[in-house]
Amino acid sequence: MAGGYDKDFLRILTEKLNIVDVASSYMHLEKKGGTYWACCPFHHEKTASFHIDENRQFYHCFGCGVSGNVITLVREMENVDFGDAVKMLAERANLPLPQTSFDGEKTAELKRKRDTLLKIMNDCAHFYLDNLNSGKADAHIEYILSRGIPAGVVRSFGLGASLNYYDLPKFLLAKGYSKQDMVDSGAVNEVDGRLSDAQGGRLIFPIINAFDEVVAFGGRALKKTDFAKYKNTKETLIFNKSKMLYNINRLKKLRRAGGLKEVIMVEGYMDAISLHQGGFKNVVASMGTSLTQEQARFIKRYCDTVLISYDGDGAGQKANMRGLEILKSEGLDVRVVPLPEGLDPDDVIKQRGADAYRECLNNAMPLIDYKMSVARRSFDINKPEEKIKYVGEALKIVRSAETSAERELMLKNLRDETGISFESLNRDLQQIPAEKQEREEEQTKIAADSADVNVKASRFVAAAILFGARYTRDINIDEIPFANDVHSLVAGYVKSKALLGEKVTLSELFDFFDEGTPEYEELCRILDLNDGENLDGEVPQKYFSDCLARLKSDSIAQAIEEVKKQFAAADGVEEKRQAAALLQQLIKQKEKIKSGDIR
């Protein structure tokens, strides 16, 4: 059972939903013939190679090799596990969820653990909230008032208070939770057998995922400490900070309500809350961590433009250059919001108002212009030696521009800024080797195909059968010696559907394999062959015959070697006679195939 759900339920669920309808809520689809195409949401590309087959209800990207059905699509687009994807789709289809029957003790325990940790974090959130309203959290209230956060916003973001290190563990023990589950949740620490609140004494910011589940906490120290001013609870089964963004739950609701033009990314909780309070709802925070590829892909699923609004000091912005490059590498339009020196977004809102911050957003600069501004601040061009260093750095940035027109414009600006002639700058530019650009297909997830010729032949035969090529109609599937178990399974699936008089639905095939396994990857390679005219026409038909002949010939060759071993090992005359007769028969079969008769 996939994810603990009966296959009949999953079949009914996928039949009630059209993958095209579901996919269209995430991406723009263009119909060409009987299929739909889009730019792949899982890798950066300019030409659409993401293909959706409405008839067979599956997707496949001919660029990066990813494939799946409607459940896989939602799981990847929403960054959730299998069970949550099924819940979302069942809700969409108005289909009640059955009781799950999990496959094995390990899976059952994993689900129990996850559910327990989520319940602990939810109870902690209520505990912290009650503390804030208990009349004992004067320092926490004082800090909230000093930051000008109104009561409504405090409630909306679920801010709370930890009063000490020991009340929370006592509270959770009284609720019946085990010490191990409390520690595994990240909310509680254990040192030398003693339990303590991991956020002891801090102002609490619940970290909520896209499903409105509390998965972690951020804490702000209220007095001078040797520890970090801000810290998150540790990574757990339910919290991976490299895949999480603060305030993502509200961003998801905004997209559903009417789409997003852009996402504002800030560094911390307070910046996100302050911007939200100022009317900028489309904000998320990276929680002070370096941006990751997972976060970049997560944002891309919501919109294509991200405005980076980090602190106004040069050091704060320069330190995050690599993160900005990661965002750009995922195909996002990255723009950097210039802020007054020394101010963060919260300061701008508080000191100068929402209109002043809006003006900063309007002046957001493309990433390449931002790189130039960072380089400019790093050198004193009034000093000849510093000017030369600056020009060297600037030319490297100019070299990375995507078009000749952009490079020419940047060179002219550099000329005006430094007083160095355009011709000199251009000559120096030509001496700088272009950064080695990986071809789009080399950036893909799918590894280079190193399969031997028999496996490739077996793969093509399986693909032709799966996609119903006309020249496969009279082929006896049971007599094909496939080189790979996945190919045998695919062909057997097609045969079983034919015997039942049912339509081949590729979405069912994805339930047979776990994503990320070699078997799943091999299924994706089979689907890769359904591209253009790979399976149609006289040439593919001839290739199919050659592949079939190779598989049968190879199978017979292996059988011949086995019989030779039997002959050599035989003790009696009768055994040798039988082995010799079988050997002669196999040799005749091989010659028959060699002559072109593959029946």
5 secondary structure, DSSP code: B
Work out the average pLDDT over 507-529: 76
**Local confidence band at 3 (pLDDT 50, 70, 90 cut-offs):** low
- Lowest mean pLDDT segment, chosen from 192-196, 350-354, 518-522: 518-522
Question: Is it true that domain 453-594 has CATH number 1.10.357?
Answer: no
* Amino acid at the residue 250: R
**Local confidence band at 307 (pLDDT 50, 70, 90 cut-offs):** very high
What stretch(es) of the chain map to CATH 3.90.580.10? 7-92
Work out the average pLDDT over 282-291: 81
Q: Buried b vs exposed e over 204-240: b needs ≥16 C-beta within 10 Å? A: bbbbbbbeebbbbbbbbbbeeeeeeebbbbeebebbe
Report the distance separating Cα 596 and Cα 599, nearest Å. 9
Looking at residue 119, its pLDDT comes to: 96
**Local confidence band at 446 (pLDDT 50, 70, 90 cut-offs):** very low
Tokens of 416: 């005006």
**Which residues make Cβ contacts (< 8 Å) with residue 527, sequence separation at least 6?**
58, 60, 67, 463, 506
Q: Mean pLDDT in the chain?
A: 83
What does the pLDDT look like over 454-478, one tens digit per residue?
Answer: 888 888 999 889 888 888 888 888 8
C-alpha of 212 from chain center: 20
What are the φ/ψ torsions at residue 53 (nearest 5 degrees)?
-95, 105
Work out the average pLDDT over 447-454: 58
Work out the average pLDDT over 528-555: 78
Return the SS3 of 461.
helix
**Local confidence band at 310 (pLDDT 50, 70, 90 cut-offs):** confident
Looking at residue 282, its pLDDT comes to: 92
**CATH architecture, domain defined by 248-371:** 3-Layer(aba) Sandwich (3.40)
Looking at residue 535, its pLDDT comes to: 76
Work out the average pLDDT over 153-171: 95
- CA angle 291/294/297 to nearest 5° reads 100
What stretch(es) of the chain map to CATH 3.90.980.10? 105-239
- Lowest mean pLDDT segment, chosen from 18-32, 106-120, 151-165, 402-416: 106-120
Q: What count of residues does the chain have?
A: 599
Work out the average pLDDT over 272-297: 85
In terms of CATH, what superfamily is 105-239? DNA primase, catalytic core, N-terminal domain (3.90.980.10)
Beta-bridge mates of residue 52: 36, 59
Return the SS3 of 56.
coil
Return the SS3 of 195.
strand
What does the pLDDT look like over 74-121, one tens digit per residue?
Answer: 888 877 778 788 888 988 888 887 765 544 455 567 778 889 999 999
What stretch(es) of the chain map to CATH 3.40.1360.10? 248-371
Looking at residue 500, its pLDDT comes to: 80
pLDDT surpasses 90 at 137 = yes
Report the distance separating Cα 493 and Cα 505, nearest Å. 10
- Lowest mean pLDDT segment, chosen from 1-10, 82-91, 138-147, 493-502: 1-10
Looking at residue 62, its pLDDT comes to: 83
pTM above 0.85, yes or no: no
In terms of CATH, what superfamily is 7-92? Zinc finger, CHC2-typedomain (3.90.580.10)
- Lowest mean pLDDT segment, chosen from 173-177, 315-319, 325-329: 315-319
Tokens of 537: 């026409």
190: number of Cβ within 10 Å:
14
What are the φ/ψ torsions at residue 296 (nearest 5 degrees)?
-60, -45
**Which residues make Cβ contacts (< 8 Å) with residue 373, sequence separation at least 6?**
338, 365
Tokens of 222: 């209220």
Work out the average pLDDT over 12-25: 88
Looking at residue 174, its pLDDT comes to: 96
Work out the average pLDDT over 307-321: 65
233 secondary structure, DSSP code: P
pLDDT surpasses 80 at 451 = no
Q: Evaluate whether 185 touches 236 at the Cβ level (below 8 Å).
A: yes
What does the pLDDT look like over 533-545, one tens digit per residue?
Answer: 567 777 788 888 8
- Lowest mean pLDDT segment, chosen from 36-45, 544-553, 586-595: 586-595
**Local confidence band at 448 (pLDDT 50, 70, 90 cut-offs):** very low
Beta-bridge mates of residue 31: 36
246 secondary structure, DSSP code: B
What does the pLDDT look like over 288-305, one tens digit per residue?
Answer: 667 887 788 778 777 888
What does the pLDDT look like over 220-255, one tens digit per residue?
Answer: 999 877 677 889 999 998 998 888 899 998 887 887
Q: Evaluate whether 121 touches 187 at the Cβ level (below 8 Å).
A: yes
Positive or negative, the CA dihedral 277, 283, 284, 286 is negative
pLDDT surpasses 70 at 1 = no
What does the pLDDT look like over 206-223, one tens digit per residue?
Answer: 999 888 899 999 999 998
Positive or negative, the CA dihedral 570, 574, 576, 579 is negative
Looking at residue 589, its pLDDT comes to: 67
Q: Evaluate whether 543 touches 551 at the Cβ level (below 8 Å).
A: no
Report the distance separating Cα 62 and Cα 147, nearest Å. 51
Looking at residue 536, its pLDDT comes to: 75
Look at residues 280, 264, 263, 281 and name the one whose alpha carbon lies nearest to residue 349: 280
Place of tokens 């290739």: 543
Return the SS3 of 41.
coil
pLDDT surpasses 90 at 339 = no
Q: Evaluate whether 43 touches 64 at the Cβ level (below 8 Å).
A: yes
- Lowest mean pLDDT segment, chosen from 161-170, 270-279, 485-494, 578-587: 578-587
Looking at residue 97, its pLDDT comes to: 77
For the ranges 271-285, 434-448, 513-527, the one whose mean pLDDT is highest: 271-285
Q: Percentage of the chain surpassing pLDDT 70?
A: 88
What stretch(es) of the chain map to CATH 1.10.860? 453-594
Work out the average pLDDT over 550-565: 80
Report the distance separating Cα 124 and Cα 184, nearest Å. 14
**Local confidence band at 258 (pLDDT 50, 70, 90 cut-offs):** low
Looking at residue 539, its pLDDT comes to: 76
Q: Buried b vs exposed e over 135-164: b needs ≥16 C-beta within 10 Å? A: eebeebbebbeeeebeeeebeebbbbbbbe
279 secondary structure, DSSP code: T
**Which residues make Cβ contacts (< 8 Å) with residue 508, sequence separation at least 6?**
7, 11, 14, 69, 493
